[in-house]
Amino acid sequence: MSRAHHSNSGEPSQRMLRVAELIRHSMAELLARGDVLDPVLETHVVTVPRVRMSPDLKLATVFVMPLGGQDTSEVIAALDRNKKFLRGEVARKVNLKFAPDIRFRIDESFENAAKIDALLNSPKVRGDLGES
């Protein structure tokens, strides 16, 4: 076994990162090409900013964001309805021994980044930094 299996640091291994990126690419391609026949997904542009894998590579958490951040709950529901199809297509594209189970979540990193930018640009912080 490699050292990554014995690490308790909580950091993802190189293999986890590589598999997550392969799944992200294939999922983004499926959604961009319109391969999923669902009325909600046909009317929304959905981006896949990141995927996080479990250490055993059996669960992929796919973080998605509809363009403009609109109708997030409807998009997640549509992805969940088509989970079996998407899992099969990802398994075909990403050659793994076992197809990971897929779970969809809204990516909140854009929202968090906007909040941090707003805080850094606030007058109080600017004053603390000696900027005007």
Q: Which amino acid type is present at position 40?
A: V
Average pLDDT over residues 113-124: 75
Average pLDDT over residues 92-107: 90
Torsion of the alpha carbons at 113, 114, 120 and 123, rounded to the nearest 10: -170
Question: Domains in the chain, ordered, with CATH?
Answer: 3-107 (3.30.300.20)
Q: What is the pTM of this model?
A: 0.77
Half-sphere exposure (Cβ direction) of 75: Cα atoms closer than 13 Å: 24
Categorize the per-residue pLDDT at 70 as very low, low, confident or very high, splitting at 50, 70 and 90: confident
